[in-house]
Amino acid sequence: MTEFKYNVAIIDDEQHVLDLVKMLISDMEGFKLKLATTDPEKFILGMNSGVIDIGILDVRMPKYSGSELAAIVMATKCPIIFISGTEVKAKEIIPTEPVDFLEKPIMPDRLEIALRKAVKRITGITGSRHNISPLPSDEVIYLSHSGKLVKIRIQDIQSIHAGQDFNDLYTEKSKYSITGSLANLEDRLKNYDIIRVHNSYLVNTSNVITIKPNLLTLKNGQEIPISRKYKTLFLKTLKPKIL
């Protein structure tokens, strides 16, 4: 039987720290370093992919601080561990509810203790790594696009189309390419009337303006196919809005 491992992601602007953590985690049972990067956008995409369980963030970095990144990825409900080689004020990190804080240089025993704390939080909140929590009530998501983070209101989402390499997310005026499976996006957005209507499409039911037997028209003019498989659920979701 394959041993279950919790997937860990780390971001730090010092490569030697990434190398050290990679080496330390490779010697620990029950954990796998899935992502080690100095790039904030890659870290955010990784955390939002649905496969990361625990995030380790350096507090002091040039482009984004660890606390800023933690706030962005809080929607994933992944436990956060902060690390730093300088003095850090509690008010910088407390709002993001980290499970632990480690001083550099990172000691193997302290890292393992912090990771075990993270596991306790995971099992206490969800009972399963696959139980993905919905996005928070502020109803926005952050996308990495053209080297910067773009904030999008969920109500502005029209549809999401599964492509070969990326998913295309459409708002009324723009299109963004995002990573991650369509199933994961469906699970995270299901509390916001964004549902599957076809194997390749999610739509925001709030932005549907006309319904034909096999076709939906959205506010942005998109025409989306609706398959028989998903039609019953779609109409059931829409029923409370029909006069």
Residue 215 belongs to a domain: yes
| Within-domain flag for 69 | yes
104 and 155 belong to one structural domain:
no
| Residue 13 or 125, more confident | 13
DSSP 137: T
Domain shared by 101 and 146, yes or no: no
CA 72/CA 48 separation, integer angstroms = 10
| pLDDT per position as a tens digit, 14-51 | 999 999 999 999 999 899 999 999 999 899 989 888 88
What does the pLDDT read at residue 136? 44
Q: Do 10 and 120 lie in a common domain?
A: yes
**CATH number, residue 52:** 3.40.50.2300
Residue where one domain finishes, among candidates 92, 125, 158 = 125
Place of tokens 């990172």: 106
Does residue 116 lie in a domain region? yes
Strand ranges (DSSP E) for the chain?
Answer: 6-11, 31-37, 54-58, 80-84, 100-103, 140-145, 148-153, 157-162, 167-171, 175-178, 194-198, 201-204, 208-212, 215-218, 223-225
Same domain, 61 and 117: yes
- Mark which of 57, 92, 125 sits at the end of a domain: 125
Placement of tokens 């029923």 in the chain: 239
Euclidean distance between CA atoms 114 and 82, whole angstroms: 10
Write down the pLDDT at residue 207.
Answer: 92
Q: What is the pLDDT of residues 79-128, one digit of tens each?
A: 999 999 888 776 777 788 899 999 999 999 999 999 999 998 887 754 43
Choose the final residue of a domain: 91, 125, 159.
125
Same-domain pairing of 19 and 94: yes
Confidence label for 196 from pLDDT (cuts 50, 70 and 90): very high
CATH of the domain at 211: 2.40.50.1020
Domain that includes residue 76, residue range = 6-125
User: Residue 167 domain-assigned?
Assistant: yes
- Confidence tier at 56 by pLDDT (50, 70, 90): very high
| pLDDT confidence band for 1 (50 / 70 / 90) | very low
131 within a domain of the structure (yes/no)? no
Please indicate, yes or no, if residue 130 is contained in any of the structural domains. Answer: no
**Long-range contact set of residues 177-181: C-beta below 8 Å, sequence gap at least 24:** 177/145, 178/143, 179/45, 179/49, 180/45, 180/48, 180/49, 180/50, 181/50
Same structural domain, 144 and 184: yes
Q: What is the pLDDT of residue 95?
A: 80
pLDDT tens, position by position, 135-148? 443 477 777 766 67
pLDDT of 76 strictly over 90: no
Pair (153, 109) in one structural domain: no
The DSSP letter of residue 127 is S
Among 10-14, 144-148, 226-230, the least confident range: 144-148
How many Å apart are CA 107 and CA 109, to the nearest integer?
Answer: 6
Q: Are residues 110 and 152 in the same domain?
A: no
Q: Are residues 49 and 16 in the same domain?
A: yes
Count structural domains, the chain.
Answer: 2
Same domain, yes or no, for 19 and 116? Answer: yes
Asked whether residue 87 falls in the same domain as residue 182, the answer is no
pLDDT over 60 (residue 130): no
* Shared-domain flag, residues 118 and 162: no
